[in-house]
């Protein structure tokens, strides 16, 4: 595994489950602004930094197009590089 794995990389090696990814999507869609979101045991995401660093994601979160917004959030989470706690 890469030294800075993405959530997608961690999913492939079963360190993160689909349910955990879906929960993270739900947290972002609910407006949770966490700098240390516990994604899975040992892995945290900075949801605030994800929004700040990804202008398309920021636009999507302001959209009223529910499916597009959910897809953009999921994509951003899969590409994010969580930190080991």
Model confidence at 6: pLDDT above 70: yes
Q: Which of 76, 83, 70 is nearest to 37 (CA)?
A: 83
Return the pLDDT at 14.
Answer: 96
Return the pLDDT at 85.
Answer: 84
Q: Taking a C-beta distance cutoff of 8 angstroms, is the pair 29, 47 a contact?
A: no
pLDDT digits over 26-83, tens only? 999 999 888 899 999 999 999 999 999 999 999 999 999 999 999 999 999 999 999 9
Q: Where are the domains of the chain?
A: 7-81
Higher-pLDDT residue of 1 and 67 is 67
Cβ-count burial 16-38 (b if 16+ within 10 Å, e if not): beeebbeebbebbeeeeeeeebb
Instruction: Give the strand order in the sheet containing 43-45.
Output: 37-40, 43-45, 83-84
**Residues 61, 63, 65, 66, Cα dihedral to 10°:** 30
């Amino acid at each position: 595994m890469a030294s800075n794995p993405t959530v997608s990389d961690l999913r492939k090696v079963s360190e993160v489950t689909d349910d955990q990814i879906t929960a993270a999507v739900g947290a972002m869609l609910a407006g949770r602004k966490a700098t240390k979101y516990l994604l899975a045991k040992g892995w945290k995401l900075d949801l605030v930094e994800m929004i700040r660093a990804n202008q398309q994601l920021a636009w999507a979160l302001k959209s009223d197009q529910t499916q597009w917004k959910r897809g953009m959030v999921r994509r951003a989470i899969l590409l994010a590089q969580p930190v080991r706690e």
